[in-house]
Homo-oligomer: A and B are copies of this chain.
Amino acid sequence: MRFAVYQPPQAAHKPVPVLYFLSGLTCTEENFMVKSGAQRYAAEHGLMLVAPDTSPRNTGIPGEDDAWDFGTGAGFYVDATAQPWRSHYQMYSYIVQELPAVIADNFSIQADKQGIFGHSMGGHGALVCAIRNPQQYKSVSAFAPIVAPMNCPWGKKAFSGYLGNNQDNWRAYDASELIQQLGYHSLILIDQGTADKFLTEQLKSAIFEQACASVNQPLNLRYHPGYDHSYYFIASFIADHIRHHAIALN
């Protein structure tokens, strides 16, 4: 597994908090580092950035490269239980356990100061990881996340393939289900462009908004007129997200 790291200047002198960014469908560990412009703000606030890849690659599983929204580049941040995917597709455990251990062993970080955010499929992943592990992740935010994967085509395809057809097993990876069961200890920040072509069919931010409201979960869901699903959207609001995490982590 490959991942990208940005170390802020502060890391030369002391351990720093870590902020994980989970990318969306088709991305690698590179997209966020190249396109988001996050480094300047991470440098200001003294946060290390870690951007993992979005799936295992070259596993030899038949059909892994057949679709852009399943298999390679589309791990969906779940631990697969269905054959043949469960042999390699253990992205949830990788993000929550294996990768943080690798980071703690190799970089000067404050292991008790971690935040997580992401985009689209990665926004889904960030919300799921944070809500299920609130002590590990002090802060969470997302750009245009898939907030209700049990209720959208991308999520149904991924969950049926990786988890099988019993939808009871899907709930552990659906942020709108989880937030009602578990809540989260602090304000969740979500940015969503209104010109995002995936908003209505796939992202469905209103479902998460209603779920949060039903349990009085603090949520700052900001709709931005005219913004689409691209990294230009991310770059436009990345400063606010880094600040959101810095307040919780510093």
The interface of chain A, by Cβ under 8 A from chain B, is 34-35, 37, 39-40, 231-232, 235-236
Contact = CB atoms under 8 A, between A and B. Distances in A.
Those 7 A-B pairs whose CB atoms lie nearest each other, nearest first: A37-B37, A34-B35, A37-B235, A35-B35, A39-B235, A37-B40, A34-B231
Contact of A34 (B34, B39, B40, B236): B34
A235 B40 contact: yes
12 contacts: A34-B34, A34-B35, A34-B231, A35-B35, A37-B37, A37-B40, A37-B235, A39-B232, A39-B235, A39-B236, A40-B235, A40-B236
A17 to B, nearest CB: 22
Contacts of A35: 34-35
A236 B9 CA distance: 13
A40 B40 CA distance: 12
Nearest to A33: B232
Contacts of A232: 39
Q: Which of A35, A37, A39 gathers most chain B CB within 10 Å?
A: A37
